[in-house]
Amino acid sequence: MSFSVVVGAGATGSAVARLLAEAGERVRLVTRRGGGPEHRLIERLAVDAADTGRLVEAAGGAAVLFNCAMPAYDRWPAEFPPLAASLLAAAERGGADYVMLGNTYGYGPVAGPATEGLPMAPSSVKGAVRARIWHEALAAHAAGRVRVTEVRASDFLGAGAYSPFTLLVGAPLLAGAAVAYPGDQDAPHSWTYTGDAARTLVAAARADTGWGRAWHVPSTSHLSVRELAALLARAAGVPDPVLGRMTAEELAELGRRDPVMAEFPEMLYLYDRPALLDASTTAAHLGIAPTPLATVLDEMAAAR
């Protein structure tokens, strides 16, 4: 019986593992600590995915290798390229198809909705990291060494999701604390539900014609931060939030205390203007429709 390997047990990686297992497929879930959801068809392994030799052993015989892992946000330049290279090598050596979870950083600033056909034009350090990872995987695909595809998400929503909104707005709002956001609170923005990202990853792996290209996850919403925060407050039964504008100086001061927050300033171009994702190709060819926003916000409210 064939099986898939999922590397990373964050909100999206765990959702991919559950989707596959609930469909009756065997899953090997690889994390550094051996964590993740429990299911009779999910085998959880404690393996450092950056250790190529051990990862090759863990992924041996797999039909598909899903890369849903990433280092800490502030360590991307040093740790992400070797981690991605290890996963690519494991897919190549084991003969598995390689499906990557990515984002929009590699595009750089975009006027209008971002489409899958845009070239990589990063304007940030983290965007350059993402572009490098994709180019290396695409080169391996073009050389016939492995079949590769990437599923690109916008900022995440959902229980356990990790994004500027969940960190700076969702968490304090649900805790009854003051909310301050460093971007334009009224700019339309595409939001990705982690469950929809997982469904797109699985659909891309099963598509016959989806290799050597990227797919965008259909967005659960294109609302502004202000509108989204008000809806989350209603779903949680808490008072409507008053959103303060975090200044650049305040963000810099926060970054001096928190290394993850120190990484946000270079990505502010995604939050101080409209940032929209066009996923019409994914909807048409992979048949993915977004989960209703109300369902996503109810999940977030229930998980507080």
Instruction: Convert the pLDDT of each residue in 180-228 to its tens digit.
Output: 999 999 999 999 999 999 999 999 999 988 899 999 999 999 999 999 9
- Tell me the C-alpha distance between 214 and 252, whole Å: 34
Residue 43 lies in a domain: yes
Q: Which domain holds residue 58?
A: 3-157+188-222+275-302
For range 4-19, the mean pLDDT? 98
Q: Residue 208: what pLDDT?
A: 83
The H-or-E segment that residue 14 falls in is: helix 11-22
Residue 69 lies in a domain: yes
- DSSP-based three-state secondary structure for 81: helix
Q: Do residues 159 and 302 make contact, with C-beta atoms less than 8 angstroms apart?
A: yes
Report the 10 Å Cβ neighbour count for 208.
Answer: 5
Residue 82 lies in a domain: yes
**For a pLDDT cut of 90, what percent of the chain falls above it?**
93
Residue 173 lies in a domain: no
Q: How many domains does the chain have?
A: 1
**How would you classify residue 115: left for phi > 0, otherwise alpha for psi between -120 and 50, otherwise beta?**
beta
88-128: per-residue pLDDT in tens?
999 999 999 999 999 999 999 999 999 999 999 999 999 99
Q: Residue 248: what pLDDT?
A: 85
Q: In Å, what is the CA distance from 178 to each residue of 16, 17, 170, 228, 240?
A: 34, 36, 11, 16, 11
Beta-carbon contacts of 210 under 8 Å, excluding residues fewer than 6 positions away, are 149, 204, 285, 286
Q: Residue 209: what pLDDT?
A: 82
Residue 37 lies in a domain: yes
CATH number, domain of 293, equals 3.40.50.720
